[in-house]
Amino acid sequence: MRRNSKFVVGAAVKCKSRAVVAGTNIENRSFGLTICAERVAMCAAVAGSEQDFVAIAVAADSDEPVVPSEACRQFLAEFNPDLIIVRATVRGQRKIENLSHLFADATRGILEHADLT
């Protein structure tokens, strides 16, 4: 796969079923179409019929543990606003946070009250 930025991020979501599903960022020449590793992992888990999620780990070859983008935080909050986020570097630096603390202003349940008929 061609990587435009050469910045590789990996993610793995831990499901309540104990399954662990991995993903990596998928870049596109049109940067807005790039998909973050967190969303790739979560989509792969959902495609595999997983519905309940406990934690997600995100790792990159960076000086500091990467922080999920606001889009990723919103996306993850739709599945579990209290998801445990493990952020790490390939050299072993690690931070563990709760998504609700990392993204306190998440818009929750947008579709909950929508009339989709």
- The residues that are catalytic are 38
Helices (H), ranges, 1-117: 37-47, 70-79, 99-102
CB 81 within 8 A of CB 100: yes
CA distance 1 to 58: 20
CB 80 within 8 A of CB 15: no
CB 26 within 8 A of CB 72: no
